[in-house]
Chains A and B, each alone.
Chain A
Amino acid sequence: MILMATEDVLSIRDWVRVATDFISENTIGMSRHWEYTDSVSYFLMEFIMCVMVFGGIMTTLLVLLWMERKLLGRFMDRRGARTSLRSLWVGENGVTAGEWWNQLPFGTGVPVGMLNKFLNEVAGNDHELEVVSRVKNRSYHGVWWLLPGFFQNLADGMKFLTKEHMVPEKADRYVFEIAPFLIIATTVMCFTFIPLSPNFYSNDSEMSILFLMAVFSVAPLGVFFAGWSSNNKYTLLGGIRSAAQLTAYEIPLLVTVLSVVVLSGSFNLIEVIEFQADSGVWNIFLLPLGGVLFLVVMVAEVERIPFDMPEAEAELVEGWWTEYGGMRWGLMFASEYLRTYAACLLFAHFFLGGWEAPLEDTIPYIHYVPHILWVFLKAWFMFIFFVWFRAALHRVRTDQILEFGWRWLLPLSLVNLAMATALRLWVYDGINGEWPLLIPILITSISLALFILLSVDEDPEALEAQTRPFSVQTVDVASPGQHRE
């Protein structure tokens, strides 16, 4: 059997359909309301799929949290990515974290040991003397301790559940209570429209992208409610910052998504993915600028470093959710990560071809890998960028965020939209339904060259003259006493 690009080995939706058909035929179908059999079966299937998608998302969300802990630990640990490799296996100065590979059964660890020896020779830094051979202080227990760490967040959730729910005395009680529900409900609602595989989705709507964006942008309202109703100055500032920032970044987001829609010719997310699979080119190779814009805007939308101004812990303590506690806080925290997850999944769907395996036409038998695996792998891969940004970047100031959004992202997203329109109108071969392969290759190589050129941002003249290329002056001169009346 040869599978098409959009067919899946795990045809879960079909299986559920068969099961619900069977159930409804044997229950409703036997009764005198037999004419409702199909409707009941459909309703049951939709319901079960909704629950399954929700469960799948919530379970794999733990992977995100686990990844963030592990990656941040590695980035911050010694020397970034290079040593993250080393702190796992190599050790320093020949001292390793215990030769656990020798304990693996059937000699399966021998290649690991050899790899370790090789890495130790290549990347181990024995010239740094004994002072840094402190990796042995790190408690790495081998792979068997991976799973307990994985379920850490379940334990956290249990803790949140047992905490008392408190509302500040002078808070606006009703709004204060409504805000978390608004945030959490709309966040979870996003996943109704995000398919996990061609056969694992809860809704196949013609306008799914439009509805998705609409639902995605309700949460800022809840954030503003939460910030204002808490009756706390920090939360108020955080809520206002959040509202300003999310409004400013909503427009580039929509325009960028619109460019994908224009390119693929559909508002249906599943059709967008199928278009990428059928036309043979992922959107990231056609709209690299759009991919970058979408990533940046999404980092701002989910309020992570460098755009985590609304909860800037250095000056606003915890921003708009300072006053929340217990499971309401826990769920809002989860919704933050769910939004991140949605962003990663959307990036995978919009730009990385969704569930299409890489080089699906070239590599034999790759069709038989379940499609859902590719979706998750691509989303988790995108999450690495989110963690990387958090480890490497600093927090941008409010006015700088807004300035960046309005003055750079919005024009760039319009340029991107124009590019998408031009590509679709004049380059796309509508008769064969394919892209001429030269175009994505050209676009990708030009973008890579531009990226490399632009990342060399050192200004030799500024270095020479010791001027400040990034100097931003907010007020003319701030001096003690001058501003006092």
Chain B
Amino acid sequence: MAEMWISMGPQHPMTHGLWTLKVKVDGETVVDTEPDLGYIHRGVEKICEARDFTQITPYADRLCYASANTWSHAYIYAAEDLLEVEVPERAEYIRMVAVELQRVASHLMWLGAYCPDVGNLTGMVWCLREREMMMDLLQELGGSRMHYNFPRIGGVKRDLPIGFALRCRAKLKLFLERIQEYEAILDESTIFLVRTQGVGYAKAEEMINHGVSGPNVRAAGHNYDVRWAHPYSIYDELDWEPSVERPSIKGSDCYDRYRVRVEEMRQSALMILDGLDKMPGGADTHYQSGDPAILGKAPARAAEGQTGFHHFEDSRGESMFYLAGGGDGRGKHPYRVSIRSPMFITIPYASKCMIGYKIADIPAIMGSFDPCIGETDR
């Protein structure tokens, strides 16, 4: 059969967003691919140059709809580096709870989208069921379901609500039990193993050369987790270890990437439980908003020449924020904001990963890299 180009996207079930994957197929075999990004470019970096430092947080939230908290926190840490703010330790713990809950919710969203990618709808319903629990907890924290605007420069918007620790512990305990349900429906299904094992090999060296990070590179056996390699917040005080897969000599396949995310959900849940126990002041106490125990003092301006930078372990890889102070003449705005999106780097690599496999493997491979187009196009 002759070769032909198929344009998968911008609206296609495989894309998980708004982008186009042009696929050149020879019969059922993929010969070449070409990703086409930029459909929802909003110019966030440019918009941020005309906003003061507090106003940028909601924009950072909206970088990724599935994982808003991790992005706003990535910005907040960079802004705190720029403005040289001291953050109370309790606020750091609350942030950790929010970020890790968001990570679990994001991975559940990923798993929920991955199950229909390989043809099972039950897994999606089950994952979204558990995601609801995480969303409810995040709603208690931030006040809304998707875009929380939760962190503040110097602390957090509000303390843990009364009874939050109790509910959080109960839900996470239930969640840790229910992870076994996913493993029952996925790991013990021969068809799932046949679909994911030996499909979409990606080698650790190649991924590092391309700049792929996060769960995708940990699935290939490279133990690089920013929270572990360069602990920023209070991650070195917690009892956890990054989930790393042991891949085959050919690299990591879709199954590795699935396993590493399931393990990471487990680690995050345990981390939250541990953090709730170790929280200074106790997880059951509740400070009023603006209390110095949860919100430090922060200047509103950054002089020219000051820069802030932070690299952050996002749900999808290593995200970075770079802020240069001294915009707007008086330093009220950043002069320049630069965002490093992990998926922007991963999607081109993943598109090349699927060359040589079948058309039916395209959603399985692309889905296993967990694409999120909101942050990719920024």
Give A residues with C-beta under 8 Å from B: 72, 75-79, 128-132, 233-234, 237, 241, 305-306, 308-309, 312-317, 391-400, 457, 466, 468-475, 477-484
Contacts and interface: CB of A to CB of B under 8 A. Distances in A.
Given A395-B118, A398-B360, A473 B198 contact: yes
Interface in B18-32: 25, 28, 31-32
A394 B356 contact: no
B191 A77 contact: no
A305 B119 contact: yes
B358 A474 contact: yes
Contacts of B174: 128-129, 131-132
A480 B206 contact: yes
B289 interface: no
B37 interface: no
A481 B348 CA distance: 11
Most buried by A among B25, B28, B115, B116: B28
Contacts of A128: 174
Contacts of B318: none
Nearest to A458: B188
Question: Is chain A's binding surface mostly helix, strand, loop or mixed?
Answer: loop
A394 B198 contact: no
A275 B133 CA distance: 57
A137 to B, nearest CB: 10
B195 interface: yes
A392 B32 CA distance: 33
B189 A398 contact: no
B190 A457 contact: yes
Given A392-B185, A480-B349, A131 B167 contact: yes
A102 B217 CA distance: 59
B119 A312 contact: yes
Interface of B: 4, 6, 8, 12-14, 25, 28, 31-32, 115-122, 125-126, 129, 133, 167, 170-171, 174, 181, 185, 189-195, 197-201, 203, 206, 210, 246, 248, 250, 255, 349, 352-363
A478 B201 contact: yes
A483 B355 contact: yes
Contact of B14 (A315, A400, A475): A315
A399 B203 CA distance: 25
Given A316-B359, A395-B360, A480-B206, 10 more contacts: A131-B170, A131-B174, A312-B360, A313-B13, A314-B119, A393-B120, A395-B120, A470-B194, A478-B355, A483-B32
B358 A398 contact: yes
A397 B210 contact: no
B119 A75 contact: no
Given A397-B361, A478-B356, A237 B13 contact: no
A136 B374 CA distance: 36
17 contacts: A131-B133, A131-B174, A305-B119, A312-B119, A314-B119, A391-B121, A393-B189, A393-B191, A397-B360, A400-B194, A468-B255, A471-B198, A474-B199, A478-B201, A478-B356, A479-B352, A482-B355
B119 A478 contact: no
A480 B191 contact: no
Contact of B191 (A314, A317, A396, A457): A396
Contact of B119 (A77, A395, A466): A395
B210 A480 contact: yes
A437 B332 CA distance: 92
B357 A478 contact: yes
A128 B206 CA distance: 45
Contacts of B210: 480
Contacts of A75: 122
Nearest to B170: A129
Contacts of A468: 193, 197-198, 248, 255
A463 to B, nearest CB: 11
A394 B357 contact: no
A76 B126 contact: yes
Given A391-B122, A392-B122, A483-B32, A472 B198 contact: yes
A72 B120 CA distance: 12
B23 to A, nearest CB: 9
A128 B121 CA distance: 25
Contact of B194 (A234, A391, A397, A480): A397
A308 B119 contact: yes
Contacts of B31: 483
Contacts of A482: 355
A478 B195 contact: no
Contact of B356 (A314, A395, A474, A481): A474
B195 A394 contact: yes
B6 A471 contact: no
B357 A475 contact: yes
B7 to A, nearest CB: 8
Contacts of B248: 468, 471
Most buried by B among A128, A395, A399: A395
Contacts of B125: 76-77
Nearest to A400: B194
A76 B201 contact: no
Nearest to B27: A240
B191 A394 contact: yes
Contacts of B355: 478, 480, 482-483
A82 to B, nearest CB: 12
Nearest to A390: B121
B120 A314 contact: no
A314 B122 contact: no
